[in-house]
Structure 1
């Protein structure tokens, strides 16, 4: 008998999966998976994701940043404000359209992001130190696949066939 999680009668495995995901989400939020040492819990998730996106994709406007992250422009504006205030992100004029504003990672932001990444890498190393390399790769691959499916489900196209989400 295969472990096909789509089998109608196999609610036990799906219940266990949803429970483990809920525990992971709670623990990740409690600790922010911030890393180790003095850097631990020193950057919230929104800031980390915004800085990481600017680092990977380069300078961009608020609308482009919001679109690439799958969130609303007003949310990006609100989340970027403290990053600008603390000097982690710079607002500059668009090189081709001086009226448009471009957000860019500052040198201080780049340094801070690398400090947090390093701390988080160390935490991941500690949490999985007794895992085989193949287990780390499999976990990363499955987690990526899960996040991709969840992201697609939450996109406007994925939501078209889904029931409306209930906010609590």
Structure 2
């Protein structure tokens, strides 16, 4: 009989039903609240940014100019999704399309100076929000939370890219302050 991820689960989790229920509930609440506020930061309306836009701008900032296919691959999403999501960013001047330096026929996406400024503004506001929400946390608690959230996101990403696979090994923690 084939095994599923549920069947291959460590048996110690069987007794953790209440904890797992609480965890899934807290994740659901977090997802809803994060989407409601878009984690816009302290001045939410002014500094709010669509999740897809933030992630695309952030990736272009971290990895530099790239084509749609490379951007899609680095984000683990479909090229058509990137094309659809980047269109309004180009229309609003946050991203610009340029010719590939080695192949003039290919198009490369890159942050415009306006996009970089807007991203910096949103990051700063979100950083202030994170400071406000965790003002009474010890620095070590912030680091542990960031490490565990990074590990959780990595596990979700791994599961999404290989749905039939067994649960992944723990991912190394991201550098504190590094965003996804």
Looking at structure 1, the residues matched to 43 and 121 of structure 2 have their Cα atoms a distance apart, in angstroms, of 11
What whole-Å deviation, never above 9, does each CA across 1:100-141 have from its counterpart, x for those lacking one?
Answer: 000000001000000000000000000000000010001000
Looking at structure 2, the residues matched to 28 and 38 of structure 1 have their Cα atoms a distance apart, in angstroms, of 12
Looking at structure 1, the residues matched to 126 and 103 of structure 2 have their Cα atoms a distance apart, in angstroms, of 38
Closer, same or farther: CA 29–38 of 1 in aligned 2, 3 Å: closer
Closer, same or farther: CA 148–5 of 1 in aligned 2, 3 Å: farther
Root-mean-square deviation over aligned CA pairs: 1.6
| TM-score relative to the length of structure 2 | 0.83
Q: 1:23 aligns with which of 4, 26, 29?
A: 29
Looking at structure 1, the residues matched to 75 and 84 of structure 2 have their Cα atoms a distance apart, in angstroms, of 14
Structure 1 gap ranges (5+): 163-168
> 1:38: Cα distance to partner?
5.9
Q: Where does structure 1 differ by over 4 angstroms across 4 or more consecutive aligned residues?
A: 38-41
Aligned counterpart, 1:10: 16
Contact 1:31 1:41 (C-alpha < 8 Å) held by counterparts: no
Looking at structure 2, the residues matched to 97 and 149 of structure 1 have their Cα atoms a distance apart, in angstroms, of 37
Aligned counterpart, 2:150: 144
Looking at structure 1, the residues matched to 105 and 48 of structure 2 have their Cα atoms a distance apart, in angstroms, of 34
> 1:40: Cα distance to partner?
4.6
Closer, same or farther: CA 145–40 of 1 in aligned 2, 3 Å: farther
Looking at structure 2, the residues matched to 38 and 24 of structure 1 have their Cα atoms a distance apart, in angstroms, of 17
Looking at structure 1, the residues matched to 160 and 53 of structure 2 have their Cα atoms a distance apart, in angstroms, of 21
- Choose 23-32 or 4-13, whichever is displaced more: 4-13
Contact 1:54 1:60 (C-alpha < 8 Å) held by counterparts: yes
Aligned counterpart, 2:171: none
> 1:13: Cα distance to partner?
0.5
Looking at structure 2, the residues matched to 125 and 146 of structure 1 have their Cα atoms a distance apart, in angstroms, of 21
Contact 1:39 1:116 (C-alpha < 8 Å) held by counterparts: no
Structure 2 gap ranges (5+): 1-9, 167-180
Contact 2:37 2:48 (C-alpha < 8 Å) held by counterparts: no
Aligned counterpart, 2:73: 67
